[in-house]
Amino acid sequence: MTVTATSSAPLALSLGDPAGIGPEIVVKAWQALRSQGPPFIVIGDHEALASASAKGASILARVGSPQEAARVFAQALPVYDMPLGVPVVAGQPSSAYAAKVVAWIETAAGLALSGAAQAVVTAPIAKAPLYEAGFGFPGHTEFLGELTANAPMAGPRGPVMMLCAEDLRTVPVTIHEPYAQAHRLLTTAKIVHTGEVVAAALARDFGIARPRLALAALNPHAGEGGALGREEIEVIAPAGAALRAKGIDCTEPRPADTLFHPQARAGYDAVLCMYHDQALIPVKMLDFWGGVNVTLGLPIVRTSPDHGVAYDVAGRGVARPDSLISALRLAAEIAARRREHS
């Protein structure tokens, strides 16, 4: 059974790919948040974090529990050490890290499910090395959905990915799918279910009493009455009608090229996008450094930075922690709202 975390419980932060910028941005996030919080415990490799800090291991503290992490957070970065057992070369991906990267995610999720942690925040992973080692999920979102599948929760279940930047929230209905196949995977039922999860999460986790959803069209000009594609007529518009019939405020399909400017954003709380890049490009254009990925429809809270492992700059000391800091703060905000309504 899921246990509601207390306000004194820290966040559980899985380290992600140790050869990417994860260790560096985790250290920098702690330096930025150590005085005001939210506190977090890092699940990962102590030595990888020490190597990412100009002060080495002197700023780190090995801890055995989230409670201990909360106590030491202002003085040292608390690490629940699950050693890799192999050396890490910054910027060099390796499937040798995969088993521990997966174990770190599992451990963080377990802490959140038990109530020992308020939420899970995940540093970036690289999918290719995990796939090489046999990882059977497209990414964090789907894996966390599996890890929490047996835990009870109120409302429709995801996992559903939401991207947040400033006043924009976007949700891809199809996620990590080749563009050539995404339109074939769109169904009215999939859009409706995604909309139900999003509406429930906006109310529960974001405090929006009556969420307003917008539907992005798949084709140029929303299909131009069928002349440029019939998905709007046959798939997307029926989904909007079904959501409205369920009492959810939802638009008809709108041309995506006019959906993301400031005036348009004022008319909805989240937009359902039909494929990955349709959702991610506007978020990254609006706030490239500070965007956050939130997983909706889980019995636990989960956020992550809206960027990848950045092997090209790993180990150079130039990675920016903005997105991770935003993810940590948003996770704490959502966890607080859930406690208020539990």
The residue-averaged pLDDT of 147-158 equals: 93
What is the pLDDT at residue 278?
97
Q: At residue 45, does pLDDT exceed 80?
A: yes
What is the pLDDT at residue 118?
97
Alpha-carbon distance 300 to 208, whole Å? Answer: 19
Question: Domain-by-domain residue ranges, the chain?
Answer: 1-153+307-342, 155-297
Q: At residue 5, does pLDDT exceed 80?
A: no
Q: Which amino acid is at 24?
A: E
For residue 6, what pLDDT band results from cuts at 50, 70 and 90? low
Share the mean pLDDT of the chain.
95
Domain 155-297 coded CATH 3.50.50.60: no
Q: At residue 3, does pLDDT exceed 80?
A: no
Query: How far from 128 is each of 139, 235, 303, 324, 329, CA to CA, in Å?
Result: 10, 33, 21, 22, 29
What is the pLDDT at residue 276?
94
- Say what percent of the chain tops pLDDT 90: 90
- CATH number of the domain located at residue range(s) 1-153+307-342 in this protein: 3.40.718.10
Q: At residue 173, does pLDDT exceed 70?
A: yes
Q: At residue 217, does pLDDT exceed 90?
A: yes
**145 φψ region: left (φ > 0), alpha (ψ -120 to 50), beta (else):** alpha
Please, which residues bridge with residue 81 across strands? 44
Domain 1-153+307-342 shares a fold with domain 155-297: yes
Residue pLDDT, tens place only, 46-76 = 999 999 988 888 999 999 999 999 999 999 9
The residue-averaged pLDDT of 35-45 equals: 97
Residue pLDDT, tens place only, 82-139 = 999 999 999 999 999 999 999 999 999 999 999 999 999 999 999 999 999 999 998 8
Question: Dihedral angle at the C-alpha atoms of 74, 72, 17, 153, nearest 10 degrees?
Answer: -100
What is the pLDDT at residue 179?
87
The residue-averaged pLDDT of 136-165 equals: 93
The residue-averaged pLDDT of 330-338 equals: 97
Complete edge-to-edge strand list for the sheet that includes strand 11-14: 60-62, 77-81, 40-44, 11-14, 120-122, 302-305, 292-296, 160-165, 168-172, 270-273, 212-216, 249-254
> How many CA atoms within 13 Å lie on the side-chain side of 330?
28
